Structure 1
Amino acid sequence: MRIHRLEIEAFGPFADVQTIDFDQLGAQGLFLLNGATGAGKTSVLDAICFALYGSVPGARQDGKRLRSDHAGPAAEPRVVCEFSARGRRFEVTRSPAWDRPSARGRKGFTTQQAKTLLREYTGGSWEEKSSRNDEAGAEITELLGMDREQFTRVVMLPQGDFAAFLRSKAADRLALLQKLFGTARFEALEQQLGRQAQDARAVVETEENGLRLLMQRAEAEFAELGAEAGAAAPETADGGQPGPAPEHRLSDMEDAACAELARRRHAAEAAEAGRLQLADRLQAAQERSRRHARFRAAVLRRDALAADAESNQESREKLGRHAKAAVLGGQLDGMDRANAARSAATAKLAAARERLQEAAADSGDPAAALAEVQEKLAVLDARIPDEHRLQDLAARLAALGTERSRREAAVALRTAELSAFREEAEGLAARIAPLEGRAASLERCEQEAAAAAVLVETIERYAGALQQVASAAERHSAARHDSLELRQRWLDLRELRLRNAAAELADKLQEGESCPVCGSCEHPQPAQAVLSGPALADEEKAAHELFETSDATVRRLAGEHAAAEQEAAVLAAQGGDSDPEEVADRLAAAEQSLAGARAAASELAGVRAAIERLGTAIAGAEQELARAATEAAQAESTAAALGEQHADLETTLAALRGGFASLRARMADLAEEQSLLQGVVSARQQLDRAEEACADAGEALAQALPAAGFASAEAARRELLDDAEAARLDRQVREADEESARVAELFESEDLVLAAKEAQVGEFPLGEEDLAELVREAGRSTEFARSLDLAAGLAARTVDSLASIRSRYAAAAEAVHLPRERARMLTALADTARGAGDNSYKMSLNSYVLAARLEQVADAASERLVAMSDGRYTLRHTDARAARGQKSGLGLEVVDEWTGQHRDTATLSGGESFMASLSLALGLADVVQQEAGGVDIETLFVDEGFGSLDEQALEQVMDALEGLRDGGRVVGLVSHVAEMKQRISSQLQVEKGRNGSTVRVLEADVR
C-alpha cells in the first residue's frame, strides 16, 4: 500500500484546502514531518486514517470534533486520499458528520450526515466504486488487508504506545496482540470447549436427575401400598445408616409388594363369595315382587277390554258399510269428472266463437275457412326466399355504386402520383453527373489521410523515444556516479589495507619464530592497526564486489542508452522530427477531403437507389391504372344485369304482399286468423268428446249400484266417510284387537301362571321395608367386596410399576456411564485450553498462539535493535511462570550481549527504551504484514521519540530507518528534533497560525 496524495479541508487545525503530494515528498524514500507543538503533525496522520477507515485513533474518534474550529460556518470538512494497493489505484473522499447553518435565514443548525465516495482509476479515467460508508469501508479493508487497529499499529508506528507495550504485563499485551493477529478464533475455541463441557455436564446431571426421579417415584408407589420393605441396611463405620444400594432397595420393595398382593387377593375372594349369596337372595325376592305386580296389571287391562267391547263393535260395523260404498268410488268419481269436462268444453266453445266474431272473421264454416287460410300461408312461405333475394340484389347494386365512386377517386390519385414520380426521377437524374466526379477521388483521399495519420503516430513515437533517451541518459549518469563512488571506496580501502600491511604481518608473528621481513626472532614492538587484518580484507573484498556489480550495471545502462538513441534516429529518418503542427494541419485537411469524398459517394449511392425505387413505383402505377379501367367496364355490365332482375322480382312480390310491407307481415295477419279458426274447431271437437264420456260414465254407474247393495248413487254417497274419520275408527278397532291379543298372551306366560298359583296358595312377596333392608345389606356386601378388589388391584399395579421402574433404572444407570466419562474428559480439556486445572503456567490456548507470534515479533525486532544499539541489546520472548498464579506466556526481556545478563524491559533508560520500542514496533509491522498475506506496505510513518537519543544513538537509529526504504518504501518521520531537520532534506512543515494551520513542502536537494 502506497499513499500518493492527501487533500485536507476544514479538518482538525486546517481551515483552508491543504494538498500534500507524497510522491514528490517521498522521492528520496525518507522525509520529515515537523512543526511546532500543536501545529497539527498528528492531524495529518489522523486525516489519512479517517480517509481510509472513517475514524481516527484514540480519543479523537468523536466525528463532530473533527471539523476545524477555524473554518467558516458553511465550510464542509473533507479529506481526499489517493493511494494504490495490489496494483490498483484508488481515491477515497470522506466527510464526517457536522452541523451546517440552517438555510433560508432560519436560526440554528442542520446536521449533515457523514459521506463517502470511493473511485478507482481504470482505463484512463476515474470510475465510481461506491458511495456508501459501509461498502467503501469493507472494500478498503479488504484491499489493505488490515483493519483500523492493525493499520495504526503497522503503518503509523506509535512509539509511545509501544513503549507502554514494552513495559506492560502479559494480560495487557494480550489485548493488543489479539487485535493485531486476529486470534479471536482460538478464544472462540476455548469458549466452545467450555460450552461443550458444560453441555456434557448438563447431560450427566439430567440423566442423574432422571435416576433420582425414578427412585423417588418407586418410593412414592411403595409408600401408597403401606407395606414394609425388607430389613434395614447395616450401619457404617461412623454409626450412620446410609441405606442399601438403589438396585437392592428396588428389589426389596418389589418383593414386599408381591407378598402384599397375595394377601389382598385372598381377602377379596372371601368377600366376593359372601356378596354372591346375598345377591342371589335379593334377586329371588325382587323377581317374586315383579311377577305379582305384572299379574295385577294384566287383570286390570282385561277388565278394561270388557268395558269397551260394545263401542268397538259399533265402530267395526260402520267401517264395513264405508267399505261397500268405497267400492263404487271409482264410478262416482268418473261420473263427476265427465260432467265437469262437458261444462268446461261448452264454455270454451262459446269463448272461441266470441273471439272469432270480434275479429270480423267469416264463421259460417270454420273448418273450410281454416283450410283456405292454411293454403295461403303455404304459398307465401314458399316465396320468402324471393324476398330475401330481392334484398340481396338491392344491396349488390348499392355496393357497385359505392365501388364505382371509390374506383374513380383511386384512379385520379394514382394519376397524380404517377406524374409526381416522373418529375422526381428527372430531378434525381440531373444530380448524378456532379456526384460521380466528387466520389471518384475517394481512394486518393483515403491514401493521403492514412499517410498523414502514420506520420502523426511516428512523431508521437519519436517524442516518446526522446524521453526514453533522456531517461536512459539520466539513469546511466546516476549509475556511473554511484559506480565511481564505489570504486573510490574500494580504492580507499585497498590503500588503507596496504598501509596496514605491516600490521597484518605483525598479526601473524609468533614468539620465537623469525620475521619473514627482517629474519629476527625477537619482536619488540609489532605494528598496530586501527582494524584487524582479516576484517579489513573482508571489507575491501566486499567493496570490490559492489564496484564490479555497479560497473556491470553501468555497462548495461550504457547499452540501453545506445539502443534508445538508435530507436530515436530511425524514427527521425521516418519523419518523426517533422513539424507536428504542420503535419497535424495536413492530417486535418486530408481527413476533411476524405469526409467530403465519402459523403459524395454515400449521396451518389442514395440517389441511384432512389431512381431505381422511382422506376419501380412508376411501372407499378401504370399497371394499376390499366387494371382499374378493366375492372370499371366489368362492373358496369354486372350492374345493368342486376337492375333488370331486381325490377322483375319486385313486380311479382308486390302482388303477393296484398298491401302489406312484406310477405312476413301478410303471413302474420293470416296466422292470427288461422289461430282463431283453429280455436273454434278444437273447442267443438273437445265438447263432442266430453258428451260421449258422460254417457259412458252414467251407464257404468247404473250397472254397479245393484251389485254393491245400494238403490241409488245418493245412498252410496251417504255411507262414505272422510279419510280422517275412517282412519280414526280403523285405528280404534285395530288397537282393541291388539290389546286383547296381548292380554291373552300375558295370562299364558310362565311368570303370570306361577303368580296365579302362588296367590291361590297364599304365597305373597316381601313387604317394602323388608325388601329395602335386604337391598341395603346386599349393597354393603358389594361395597366391601369392591374395596378389597380395588386394594388388590392397587397392589398389582404397584408390583407392575416397581418392576418397570427397576428395569428402567438399570438401563438408565448403564446409559449414564459414557456421558459421565465424556463430561469428565471435556471438562479437563476445557480447563487446559483456558489455562486452569493442571496448567501450571495458567496459559490459555489463545495466549499460547499469541506467545508464538510474540516470539516472531521479538526476533524481527532484535534484528533492528542490534543495529540501533551497536550490537548490545536483543529482545527475547519468555514464558517464565508469573508470580502469584497470574497468567504466563507473553513475557519480554532484554538480553545485554555485552554482559550476558537478561534484564526486565522496565530497566532500560529513556533512549534505550525508545530504541527497543521502535524496534518492537517495526518488528511487529513486519510480522503483521506477513500474517496479512504478504500485503506490501510501501508507506510508513514513525511518530516522535527521537529527542531522547544522544548523537550516536540517533545516528544508529537513522541508519536503521533508512534501511526501511529499501525496495521503494517511503518512510515519514514525525519529529521536531533539530539534528533530524539538518539530516533529512525532504520535509513537510506544518505551520500554525491564528486562522488555522498550513502545510509546506521543502524540496530535497538532488544532486
Structure 2
Amino acid sequence: MKILALRLSQLASLPGPVELDFTAAPLADAGLFAITGPTGAGKSTLLDALCLALFGNTPRLRHAPGRDSHLEDLDGSRIATADPRSLLRRGAASGYAEVDFIGRDARRYRARWAVRRARDKADGKLQAVEQSLTDLDDERLLTAQKREFAELIPERLGLSFEQFTRAVLLAQSEFAAFLKADDNARSDLLEKLTNTQEYSRISVESYARAKEARDAVARQQALLAEDAPSDDSARQAMEQELAEAEGELDTCQRQMKALDEEAQWLAQDAQWRQRCEQADASLVEAEAQWEALSEQRRECEMLERVAPWRPQLLRQRSLSRQLPDQRQQLEQAKSALAQARTALEQQHQQTSRRRQTLEDSEQALEQARPAIAQAREIASELKGREQQHRQLEDEHQKRKRQREDLDGQQRALAERHRRHLEQRDAATRTLSRHLGQHQQVATARAEAQQHLEHAGHRLLALSELEQRWRLLRQLDEQQHRLDAERSRDSAQRDELLDQGKQARARLDHATAEHEQLTRFIQRARATRSDSVADMRATLEPDTACPVCGSHEHPWRDSPPATPEATQLAAQIALEDDQLAESESRLGELREQRDALFGRFQALKASVEQAETSLLALEPRRNEAQAGLEEAQARLDDPALAEQWRALDADARQAWLTEHSEKARQRQQQARERLQALDDAERQLAPLAEAIEEDERERQALALRAANFDEELKRLDDQRPELTRSIDEHRRRLAEALGDDRSADAWLERLEAQVRQARQDHEQARQAHDQAQRQVLSLTQRIEHEGKALSVLEDEKTRLDAELERWRNEHPDITDGDLERLLDQADDALKALRARLDGAREACQTARTSRDERRQGWRAWRARHLPEQDPQTLLDEATQRQLDARQADLDARREANRPRLEAAQQRRDGALHAVRDDDRRRQRQRDGLEALERARDEHHRWGRIAELIGAADGKTFRRIAQAWNLERLIDEANVHLAGLSRRYRLVRGGSPLGLLVIDQDVADERRSVHSLSGGETFLVSLAMALGLASLASGELAIESLFIDEGFGSLDPQSLALAMDALDGLQAQGRRVGVISHVQEMHERIPVQIQVHPAGNGESRVALSD
C-alpha cells in the first residue's frame, strides 16, 4: 500500500486547492520529508484530509464529544462536533479531499470525500457527504455510494480505519495512549488492529450459552412441578367412569341405528316416487315436442321431392341471372372497338408531325457548329487575359500588404527602442540610488553583506537564547506537574489500600459462606441417595458409622421421608441455583479484589515513577540553567545582555519576540539591498545590447521598404493595357453568343432540342403501336364472347323445357316454395331428417323409461311390504300409510337424540380425562429425561464459561490478546533496539501489562509510568512502529505519516529518533513528520511548508 497523491480544498485553514504529488519531484525523490509551519497553521489538516478521503473520519474527530455536543452552523442549524462536515472552511460553498493510492492488489485507485452546501451558496444548509472510489488503471468508477465505499475501501486498501491510524498515520496524542492504557483498553485496541474480534464473541457466546443452559434447567424444573399426573386411586375412578359411559353410549347407538335403517328405507322409497314422477314429466315433454315439429315434417317431404332435380333447377336460375350480363359485356366491347379505331388514326397523324420536328432540330444543330467553335476561341482568349489580370492584382495586393507590415515593424521597432532607452535610464537611476554615498558597486555590496552577517549572528544568538529559555520553562513546568501528580497518586494509593482491605474482608466472608453452603448441600444430597439408604440398613447399635463415625444412628429405624421425583428435581435445581449464585458472587468479589490490586500497583508504580522523574529532572534543569547563561554570554551587544538580565520571567518572552523580529527585519533589509544591486547590474548589460540591435534592425527595414516601393510602381504601369484587351474580348464574345451565356450553353441548348424531339417522336411511335394492339385485342374479344353467348342461350332453352314438365307433375310446390328450398344448403335435408328422428326416438325412450321405473318401484315396495296387495302398492292409500309411518319415525328419532348426545358427552369427558392423564404421565417421563439432558448441557457450558466466559467478552479476549501482545512486544523491541539499546519491553504486572527492562541497571524491571518524557517518546515511537507492523500483517506499507512533537527530546534522543526515521526510509518507506524542532528542519531538506496568510488562511508550498 502506497500513497501517491493528496488533494484538498476549503478544509479548515487551507482554502486551497492544495495538491501534493508524491510521484513528482521533489517528493518523489525524498524518502523523508517534514511538514512545517507555526502552531495552528494547518499542518495536521493535511493528515485530516488524508483520513477524510479514505474513511470519512479523522483521529481528532474520533475523540470529540458525541451527539450531546453541537455547533451552530451558518444557516442556524446544529451539527455534532464530531461531524466531519464541520471541517468545511467557514464561508466556503463546497470542499473536498482526494487521495490517489496503490492498493493491496497493486492497482491504482482514487478515493474522494466531498461536501457542499445547498445551492452552492456559502450560507446554504450542509448537504450529505459524497464519497466515491475510482479504479485509475481502468478509469472506471467503482462506487459512489457511502455504504459500498465503506465496504470497498478496507478491501482495496488492505487496512481498516483503526489499522490505518496505527500503521500509516500516527496522530497526535496517540503515541503514549497505548503504552499507558489499562488491560481492557489495550485488549480492545489489539483486537481491532488484528481483526480477532471472534475471541470476544466466543467469550460472550460461551457466557450466554451457560446462562441459557442454567435457565433451561430452571424452566424444566418449573414445568415438572406444574404438570404432575393423578394418583392411582383417581386413575382407577377415571377408568371405571369411562367403562360405564361407553356401555350407556353403546345401548343408545343400537337404538338409533334401528331407527336410522327404517328412515333410510322410507327415504329410498321417496326417491323411487320422485324418479317415477320425473319419467312421467319427460314423456309428456317429448310428445309435445313431436307435435310441434309438424311444419318441419312437411318441409322434409318437399325437400325429398326436389332433391333429384336440384342441380337442374340451380343451373336454370344461374343462367337466368348470367345471360343479361353476358349480352351487356358484348355491347360494351363493340363500343370500345369503335373508340380504339378512332384513337389509332389520331396517333398516326401525331407520329408524322413529331418526325418532321426531329429532322428540323438536327439540321439547326449542324448549321450552328462553326459559330460555336469561333465563340469558344474568343472565350478562351478572354479567360487568359482575365487570369493575367487577377495575377497582377494579387501580386499588387501582396506587395501592398507586405509594405504595410513593414511599416508596422518600423513603428514597433521605434517603440521598442524608446522603451529600451527608458529602461536603461531607470536602471541607471536605481543603481545610483542604491550606491548611496559610495561611488563603486563593490563597496556598497560589501557594506550590505556586513549588515546581513551581523543581523544573522544576532538572530542566531537570540534564537538560541529563546530555545534555552523555553527549555528551562518547560522543565520548571514539568517539575511542578510531577509534584502534583505524585501528591494526587499518593492520596489515591492510600484510598485504594483502604478499599482493598475492605474487598479482602468481603471476599473472605463470601468464601466462608460458599464453603458452608457447599458442605450443607453435599450432606443433604448424600442423605437422599439410594446408596445411603442401603448403608443405613446395615448400621448396628453402638457401632461407629463408616461415613461420619457417629455411634448414634437416629435414622436407621425411622429414616426421613423421600420426596417424590418432581419435588426432588425441584430441590436439586434450587440447590444448583444457590451454588451458582454463590459462585458468581465469589467470582465478582475476586474480580473486584484483582481490579483494586491492579490499580494499587499502577498507582504505586506511578508514584515511584514521579519520584524517579523528579530526581532525574534536577540535573537536566541545572544543565538548562547553565545553557541559558552561556546563551546570554553569546549576545553580541552588551546593552542587550544587560536588558535581558534586568527583565523578570514574565517579560522575557515578549522581549525575545520583539528583538528577534527586529533582527529579522534588519537581515531582510540587507538581503533586499544586495538583491537590488545585483538586479540593477543584471538589467544594464542586456539593455545596451538591445539598443545596438534595434539600430541594426532599423537600417535593414529601411532598405526593404525602398525595394517594395519600386515593385509596386512596376505593377501599376501594367494594369491599363491589360484592362483594355479584356473589354474588347468581352464585346466580341457577347456579339457571337447572343442570348446564350456561353458557347457550351449554346451547344447544350441545341442538343437538348434535338434530344427532346427524338424523345417526342419515340413516344408517339409507341402510342401508335399500343393503339394497333388494342384494336386487335377488342376484335378477338367480341368474337369469343359472341360464341359463348350462343352456347348459354341454347342450354337455357333446353333446361326450360325439361323443368316445365317436372313442375306440371308437382303443382303443389309453388314458386316461392321452390326458391326457398333452393336457397337452403345442400345438407339441410340431412339435418332436418336427423332432428325429426331424434324427436321420435326421444318419445320412445321417455315412454320406455316411465314403464321401467314404475315396475321397479312396485318391485321395491313388494319386497318391503309383502302383506300389501301387489295391485295397490302404488295407490294413494298406500302412500298415505307410508307418510304416517315417516312422521312417527321422525318423532321417535327426535326423542332418542338427546339421550344419545348426553351419553356421547359423558363418554368423551371420561375418555378425555384418561387421555389427559396419560399425556401428563408421558410428559413427566419426557420432562425428567429433558431435565437430565439440560443438566448435562449446563455442566458442559458451565465449565467452558468458567474458563473463558464473560458477559462483556473480556476473559477470552485477554487470553487471546496476550499472545498478540507478545507479538507486538517482539516487533516493538526490534525498533526500540535501534532507538535506545538501554531499554527493552516485556509483559508483566498484569495479564496485559507492560514493563520496561533497564539494561543499564542490571535488567531492572520498571513500570512504563516511570519513564521520563523523552524516554516515553522513544518507547512510544517503538511501540507505534510495532503496532504498524502488527496491523499491516503481510501487507507491504510504503507510506508513514507521524504527527507528534519531537520537542521533548534532548539532542541525543533526537538524534536517535532521526536515525530511526532514516532507518524506516532505508526500508523503502516514505516517511513524513510534523515537528517544530529546528534541528529536524535542518536535517530534512524536503519540506511541505504551511504559511499563515492572515484571516485564518494558510498557504502550502514545497521546499527542497
- Same fold flag (TM > 0.5): no
TM-score by length of 1: 0.44
Higher alpha-carbon Rg: 1
TM-score by length of 2: 0.41
